[in-house]
Structures are given as structure tokens and as C-alpha cells.
Structure 1
């Protein structure tokens, strides 16, 4: 199996000639997939034995959650990134594979290429290093969306991944190789006017505010990019490419600029993206974190950046001005672009150095709590796209059941832990006797005792009033 994240950034980071004809490549792929000799994707029925993760820093789990959780000196790979969470989750792999044998996880070297997202953040939000015009940067992406160039690029990248997986024998049979592609997340609550006066520009003379208009524009572009990626995945369905739905809804109430959580720093626990002001030397996800206390002081990201770029020079933010921006100072030439600067931060040898602004590199990436939602949705997608031989297992109340050809753990995907009890099947003479039901708490109605919920239904309200159960239960009380 191969999981690809950060697709747009990844395709631009490949060694591809500047004049490469993506449209022609996409047309060739289209023709190949419809050739009478092409062997189409077949739904796999074997265990998942290997899981390969590649892409941008969303895959790696940039710096989450703190320096103590960095793996093997790699400042871009955190122990609680969702792929690391998946790699040790015996319950969910037991559900998918029929036993607790964990797949082999491979994490190829992270390339550091978040070019498109980083450029947008630099030009429109931070304006931190040689910024270009925000609207020009956004218009360039919009043009690629509108004229189909982005879709051609995504098609090409996904095809290369799926084709390589097949040719290398990544599954048996080869045509059962799968590529899972989740979406990006919109970063902002776009209607809360409290945020209109907030600015995250690093330098005093710049004030690029998080206005409603800018937030709506950035969210709209993210949504359009997701639509392009989904369309490209559907183009390559015959290659085993699967688009993962649901992440956008999981972040509702947890974006930047949410009511009650809007301030200059936006570092609190309920905000699921890292802020540039959040300290990197603690696993705490912000004020309100029930597991890790948050330090009293926030960071000064601008000063940290100056300390890194001009080590030992004691340069101060107060020296920066419109007529003397830091990228015109002596020594700045070693970082000709913002992405060169981010790459240098990524490659810093001393990850504990106080003058390495990992906080800037980590900003706008999900926290570990959010990554748990990514993990759950990826597991759900895998389970829904595989066939595994029936397994009989013991449930919490001592019975044995088989469910959709897979074992049914009491903590189905972990989401019913301390929420569900009394799992049961209806009598065999009932039409839905093969459906497993549980009595679950109703966390949208504190006065309700619980409600039976079908475990094979996810995230949709049914006509009979039951809520398809995933993550949080919100069904009406039925008993």
C-alpha cells in the first residue's frame, strides 16, 4: 500500500523539466487506462503487510508534539504524526487484518518540499522573507486550477505512484495495489469578524490582516484544490487510487479564528493547527491541554528568525524597516527564497538549538490531537476498500461475532472506548440481523442516556433518526 499526502507540493518537487508537458502525459495515461490490454484495479482480499508513507510535511507530522517527540534527530518527523499513530495501532489493524500483526511501515526521506503552501503563507500571512504580492501568488494557483494544469499534474503524480507500486510488486495480485489520497484542510473560520484585525506579519511595517475576505479566499482555494485532487483520484480509480473523505468535517470548530478562540496568538488546545507563537520545546498543545501544561510565555517568531539567519550578530526586530528589510542585510544572500530558508531550518543539525525557528516551520500544521482524526479516517477508508476472510472473535460481553468479514473489536476503531456498551445483533428473523448495534452515549444531549447506533454506518444521519456513528455520537435517544 502507498499513502500519498501533500500531493501538489510533491509533484512540483520532482526532478521534472520546466517544460514538461503534463497535459500530454495526462492524455497518455487516460489512453492507457482504457486500453483493452490494461489490467484494472481489483479490490484486495489479503492482509495489509506493508504501508509506505510519502509526501510533504503533513505526512511526516512536522515537529509534533515538541522536540522530545522528534524521531532520530529528524525535526520533521514526530512520534504522534498520524502515520506513526497508525503504525502502532493493533486494534485497528486487527479489525482490518484479522489479527494484531502490524504491517511494515516505511517512511522514505522527507523532501522538505511544501513549496506551494509555503509560498502562499509567506506572501499572504507572514510576509517574512522576500515576500511577493499575495494576490499574484493566489492568482497563479487559481489559473492552474481553472485551466486544468493542476489536475494534469495531480494525475501524473498519482499515476507514477500507482504505476511504481504495481511494477514493484507492492501487492499480490499487483493490480490490487492501493493509493490513498486525503484532502487538505481549510485553515480558517471565515465568518468570525473578530479575526479581521489580527495580523501575523513578522515585521513591524507590514500588516497583512486576517480579514474575512482573505480567509474566504484561502479557504475557497483549498476547497478547489481538494476538488481537483478528488477528480484526479477518480480519473485513476482503475489504478487503485482512492480519495479519502471526511477530514474537512472533522475540523469543524477547531480552525484558526473560531469564536471564543480568536486572539493574536491562537495557541489554545481547541485550535488544531499549530501557531507560529507556540513553543516547540513542550508537548503541550496549548492552554487547556488536559495532559500537558502550557508554558507561560509565547514565542517571538520574528526574533527567532533573525537569530537563525544572522547567528551571533545580535540583530533585533526593531532594526527592521521598510527601507531596511532583513533580506537586504549582509548575510541574507544565503537564503534566496523563503523555501530555501525553510529547508535550512529543516536541516538544522542541533534540533535543541534555541535559535532554530522550528515553530515557523511547524505552523499551520495539525497537532497530534487532530492527527488522531486523520488516522481514524484513513483506517475507515482502508477497511471500506478491502475484503478480508470472515473472522470470529470474542466480544467484551463474552460472545463471539463476525462482522463484514472482519473481527469486531469492542472498541471499534477505538472511537467507542468508554462510550459504548451492550453490543448486540437483532434476532435472526429480522431483516437487519447481520448488523451489529451498540448502545452509545449521546454527547449532544446531556440528559439522554444513550442510543443504539449501527457500527457499519459512518457520519451520516439516516431517515430513521439514527446517526451514523463515527468519532462523536449525536443520535437521538432510542431507549
Structure 2
């Protein structure tokens, strides 16, 4: 009970906090990959292939009543599929870009002059999309094409990237560039950067999932073909990858901890407990893939709702045509040699898309770029998980910038009383 009361006070305090280290105007910037762009979480906003959605954790953070009140600037920059080097190249711009090269990335907001920034990066650097396509939905892309790697080969490839010194060095280089950019602004050395980690996706408490496949063509009706199975060994390996990636991010953050950079563990609550317990794939008693599981914090592929047929879905037809134009008669091995990283192959395909035709087809939430996000959201956070990430960032910011102690009931959060020590007491 004490912990619940304390947590209630903490959360209430968070939402009563005015995050405004600059006296004249609050400005902050969100950076990162699809985990920050919020791919698939409610409504598509902008960014074309960047797939920014309106319930991503940065948007939720910005929509808090204290942040949204008054004059402030929010630079929502994240882009789905962004490598660390691409974030450094395309998300630290001095001026907003709406046109020019790489139009498929849509509006690229400027970095601005933020007091603080958030960052999620590293997943694409270990070819996380390759894991999704080759080990989870088991196709090169959701509308077809040869599988680029076997799941076993994909796991070996991602482990090679995880163990390379390049991963930490690239993340470190990105963080240094962000900090330098932030400190050159009006806030100076008070600039803060919050770098989030990634979740472990699977429960490993049961063998019930050992014969389950998440393959697109095998769900909701099994096609009888051989697909990767979510065995205990495979699930544990994926979880170990998440741990290794988070360790790399921690290491890069640690090299810059004296510059106001903090790692945000999005698996732990404010007491250090496993916040995702019961909310992962393959939890005991869950018949996977359960797209209706109310306890799941990540998205399944929309097996029942999504039509992946180029004959019936206009967006899929355009994607399929762009894919054929880029790949031509190349076999799987040739494709792998030309585009070793899955994101590179996707980018080449997106470059070939006829934007005019795509927008002509964008007449509903199942057409255009949102149609891509509707499918690409697999293994990404649902809204409830974005909300949790938002709260973790708020908690850390509050720890770094504690609000003035309350002196009367007027400055206490709603439902709390002002204790003798100046801390709100909440029931």
C-alpha cells in the first residue's frame, strides 16, 4: 500500500510539474526511429515514410496539460527506419525542409533550440526490420517477395551487428552531436537528453508458444507450410538481443553522462520492477498470435484486418509495383548482396513509389502511408506502452528538476494534501 501511495504521489507530482527551464519559452525536440515516431499508434500525422502517429510517446509527452499550455515549441522529428547515422544527418537540421531530395521523408522539422530532447535509436542498426520480416512475419515484405535470410541466418546477422564496436561508437557519435547541438542553443550546458531503451518482447515462462508461428501467411488460418516457430530458445535469444542492445545504448549514454544524458529503461517501473510482466508475447495461458489480447503492450500483425492482395488494396499494388521496379529479376541472394540491411531495401523501394498515385489512393485510413504504418506497426508499442514510456521520461525529468515543495493546499495536485515536509500526500 505504501508503494501505491508513493507512486500515486510521484505520478500526481509529475503531472503538476511545469517543465520550463527557460523563462521565456519552452522548446523541446523528439528524435529517433519508429519507436519514437509511434508507427501505427492511432492516427497517422505526417512524415510520409517517417510514419509519425498522434499517440507516440513524444506526442503524448507534449500533449500533457503543463507542456501544452502557453507558448511553446515542439519539434517532432523521429522517422521510422532511421539508423543512428541517418538521425545525425537528417534530424539535426538548422531549418525545416519540406521539399528537395528524399521527399519521401515528408516534412523534416528543424532541431530548433530545445531545453531537452528525447531519443530512441539503435533498433535499425541491428537490422530489427530484418528480424520482423525474416523471423516473425516470414516474408521479404508483407506483400511478398523472396525471404532475404532464414531466421537462423538473420539472428546470426543481428548478433554480429550487436557485438560490433560500431554499434556503441555510432550511438556515442550521435549522442555527442545531439548534445553539442543542444548546448550551442540558449539553454547552454543545462541541455538534457533522455535516451530510451527497447523492450524484451517475449515471456519465457512457458513452452506453450513453442509450436506457434507469427507468419503472415499462416494466420489466422495455417497454410500448412514450414515457418519459424517461437520456441523457448528463439524467444530467449530475441530477449538477449534486446538486453545486448540496451547495454550498448547504456554504454553510449555512459560516455556522455557528465553532459546531461540519461538512459531511460522502458522495462522498469519507478521502483525497478518489471513493468512488462504479463504484457509480452507468449505469456502463459495466451493462445498466440492473439491480436485481441488486452494485456499486450505491443502490436501483432493485423492478420484478420489487413488485405495484402495487390488486386484489392491500391496501396499494396503501388508498393508491389515499386518493389518489382527496384528488384527486377534479382534472386534472394542478389538482393541480400545489394541491400544487406533491410531498411536499405525498403528505402530503395520507397524511392520508386509514385507519390501522386499514392496520394490519389489515400482516400481512407487503409490507403496511402497509413496503410504502410498499419502493417509496419508489428512488434511496436501500443498506445498504452507509449503512455508508460512518456511517464518514465517525466519521472526522470522530475528527478533532475524537482518542483518547489508545496506550501499550501493550493499548490498540491488534485486529490492530495500538503504534508509537513512539503511533499504532497495522496491517497
Q: Is TM (by shorter chain) over 0.5?
A: yes
CA contact (8 A) 2:205 2:284 kept: no
Q: Which runs of 5+ in 2 are unaligned?
A: 1-19, 83-122, 141-146, 218-222, 269-273
Q: CA deviation at 1:261?
A: 3.0
* Residue equivalent to 1:274: 299
| Aligned mates of 2:21, 2:318 — CA distance in 1 | 59
Which digits, 9 at most, give the CA deviation of each residue in 1:292-346, with x for residues without a partner? xxxxxx235654799568739999xxxxxxxxxxx8x898539956534476399
Structure 1: gaps spanning 5 or more residues: 1-43, 95-99, 279-297, 316-326, 402-407, 411-420, 427-432, 440-479
Alignment match, 2:328? 333
SS, match of residue 208 in structure 2 = helix
- The 1:236/1:362 distance shift into structure 2, 3 A limit, reads same
**C-alpha spacing 1:331/1:53, structure 2 compared with 1 (3 Å):** closer
In structure 2, what is the equivalent of residue 209 of structure 1?
229
Q: Deviations for 1:391-433, whole angstroms, at most 9, x for unmatched residues? A: 7676xxxx245xxxxxx423xxxxxxxxxx453414xxxxxx3
Q: Residue 52 of structure 1: SS of its match in structure 2?
A: strand
Distance in structure 2 (CA, Å) of the matches to 1:111 and 1:313: 17
**Does 2:276 align with 1:251?**
yes
SS at match of 1:162: helix
What is the CA distance between 1:89 and its match in structure 2? 0.7
Q: Of 208, 229, 235, which residue of structure 1 is paired with 2:249?
A: 229
Given candidates 53, 58, 63, the residue that maps to 2:35 is 58
Deviations 1:217-261 (A, max 9, x none): 001110111011112111111222111134343322111112233
Give the Cα separation in 1 of the matches to 2:159 and 2:58.
31
Aligned to 1:381: 396
CA deviations 1:77-122 (Å, max 9, x no partner) are 222112111112124x49xxxxx54641111262643642101211
Q: Structure 1 pair 409/393, CA: closer, same or farther in 2 (3 Å)?
A: farther
Q: Secondary structure at the match of 1:53?
A: strand
**Alignment-derived partner of residue 71 in structure 1:** 45
1:195 aligned onto 2:209: yes
**Is contact 1:276–1:301 with CA below 8 Å preserved after alignment?**
no
Q: Higher relative contact order at CA 8 Å, sep ≥6: structure 1 or structure 2?
A: 2
Q: 1:357 to 1:161 in 2, by over 3 A?
A: closer
Find the partner of 2:424 among 401, 413, 436.
Answer: 436
**Larger helix proportion, structure 1 or 2?**
2
Output the CA distance in 2 between the equivalents of 1:268 and 1:305.
Answer: 31
CA contact (8 A) 1:301 1:359 kept: no
Structure 1 pair 239–314 and aligned structure 2 pair: CA distance change class (3 A): closer
In the other structure, the counterpart of 2:350 is 344
Change (3 A) 1:304 1:409: farther
Q: TM-score scaled by structure 1? A: 0.59
Instruction: Tell me whether 1:121 sits opposite 2:136 in the alignment.
Output: no
Name the larger-Rg structure. 1
Q: Is the 8 A contact 2:151 2:228 kept in 1?
A: no
CA shift in 2, pair 1:210/1:132, >3 Å: same
Q: Any residues of structure 2 matched to 1:120-199 within 5 Å, and which? A: 120-129=131-140, 130-167=147-184, 169=185, 171-172=186-187, 174-199=188-213
Cα distance, 1:422–1:311 mapped onto 2, change above 3 Å: closer
Q: CA RMSD in A?
A: 3.6
Separation (CA, whole Å) in 2 of partners of 1:358 and 1:305: 20
How many residue pairs match? The answer is 326
